[in-house]
Amino acid sequence: MSIQPAGRDSFGSRFGVIAATAGSAIGLGNIWRFPYVAGENGGGAFLIIYLLFILAIGIPVMMSEFLIGRGAQRNVFGSFKLLAPGKPWYLIGLMGVAAAFMILAFYTAVAGWTLEYIYLSLIDGFSGMNSEQLDVMFTEFRGGTWRPVLWFLLFMGLTAFIIMSGVKNGIEKYTKILMPVLLVILVILSVRSLTLPGAGKGLAFLFTPDFSKITTSTILEALGQAFFSLSIGMGTLITYGSYIAKNENLGSTAVSVALADTLIAVLAGVAIFPAVFAFGIEPGSGEGLVFITLPNIFQQMTGGYFFSLLFFILLGVAALTSTISVLEVIVAYFVEELGLTRKKATWLSTFSVSVLGIMCALSWGVMRDVNILGFNIFGLLNFTSANILLPLGGLFIVLFVAWYLGREKARDELSNQGMLKVTYMPLFLFIVKFVAPIAIALVFLQGVGLLKI
Ligand code: PHE
């Protein structure tokens, strides 16, 4: 049952809320980004810091976003305008919209790669290739012009199509079907990977912490990854929160989504690292890890054709349930603040994101010589959004809840105006007032080199 003010689209059921929100959280961040970032940052020790950030910072930030959005019933910019009239807090909203542009651009470029790999799986394109050949295949594809761009545009089109259909009939309808399937497939793939000879080494890499590998930049990477993976820090969950019915439990929704997201990231690690080690591949091999390693495994295992196809379809699906959540941030903003129709807002945002996104898709091709601070365009957007904009956004979001909105309003929203027991309130307030802001600020300043402890 949903209780919602008239005239605004919303999620229609509890499962719909979880599917949509977990759909946003679970994506390329879990299956593509987590394994290679963990791989580049020492594996097990990274995982522990990551888990700590999810629990101590991620969940409270997520609850803060939910309560802001559901309280205000607006897009990310409008929420701050409404809750803090005449104050500059709306700048957080603008930063969120900017982050949405950047994330959607580079993220959809990778999502486009999954379409190429679905196609390659379909034509049995990996069969008989060794890991070097698969590496070359990926590098050549990614360095091309037409294919990365066309796949990018196709993926943007799919995203726009769902968003145009609305919240209940678009976002909710598709995520409710797609998310359960994703889980089943990942479990199957993990089991397969675990039964490969030499799998133990991969598990040891993932689960045995070696703290000598931890540096300040590793800690920032873990924080950035936690924010990125949970879709927090830019208002995705403020926007989705504004579609959640007034009788849903925001605290338990946040915990369920964070757990599901973490479980999927770890499962992805379990599906990938044993295989990486079993086939003697470098765990820190960057953005190509999933696109080189997995085809290698698939083409050697029984039923590989089938699993490969399924895996890349599911990678695409995971990406799609996330890209829609990012596009929705921009579309909701355009609709509510600029007064556009949903259709026009979707076209406008899709077009403008595509300009940036095409540059990302060409970052290894014709634009490979563009070098900004040591990054190509893709790398720059990837790093800036996850490691800078999301933590900063998260910082301001908790500061807003703790020091502007205040205890009463936060409690009213989290407890559904007193209908639910919220015994966690003192802990929540302590975290959003002190722990999260201080931790985010320290990690952030250290990570970007502005502070040396
Ligand atoms: N959480 C998504 C993932 O892990 C990515 C994302 C980031 C989505 C930020 C929305 C906002 O793939």
Ligand 1 atom closest to the Cα of residue 318 is 12
DSSP symbols for 29-56: IIIIIHHHHHHHTTTHHHHHHHHHHIII
Q: Does the Cβ of 30 fall within 6 Å of ligand 1?
A: yes
Q: Does the Cβ of 29 fall within 6 Å of ligand 1?
A: yes
Ligand 1 atom closest to the Cα of residue 261 is 4
Q: What is the pLDDT of residue 284?
A: 64
* Chain position carrying tokens 């409710």: 176
Cα(35)–Cα(433) distance, rounded to whole angstroms? 32
Residue closest by Cα to atom 6 of ligand 1: 231
Residue closest by Cα to atom 11 of ligand 1: 231
Cα(121)–Cα(74) distance, rounded to whole angstroms? 42
Q: Does the Cβ of 76 fall within 6 Å of ligand 1?
A: no
Ligand 1 atom closest to the Cα of residue 325 is 10
Q: What's the pTM?
A: 0.92
Angle, in degrees to the nearest 10, between helices 342-361 and 90-122: 60
**Mean pLDDT in the chain?**
91
pLDDT tens-digit series, residues 291-319: 987 888 788 777 889 889 988 988 999 99
Q: Does the Cβ of 236 fall within 6 Å of ligand 1?
A: yes
Angle, in degrees to the nearest 10, between helices 304-338 and 146-164: 60
Which among 304, 332, 315 has a CA at the least distance from the CA of 128? Answer: 304
8 Å CB contact between 80 and 400: yes
- Higher-confidence position of 431 and 211: 431
* Domains observed in the chain: 14-447 (1.10.4160)
Say yes or no: ipTM exceeds 0.95: yes
How many residues in total does the chain contain? 453
pLDDT tens-digit series, residues 219-272: 888 988 999 999 999 999 999 999 999 999 999 999 999 999 999 999 888 888
DSSP symbols for 201-218: HHHHHHHS--GGG--HHH
Residue closest by Cα to atom 7 of ligand 1: 231
The rounded radius of gyration (Å) of the Cα atoms in the chain is: 21
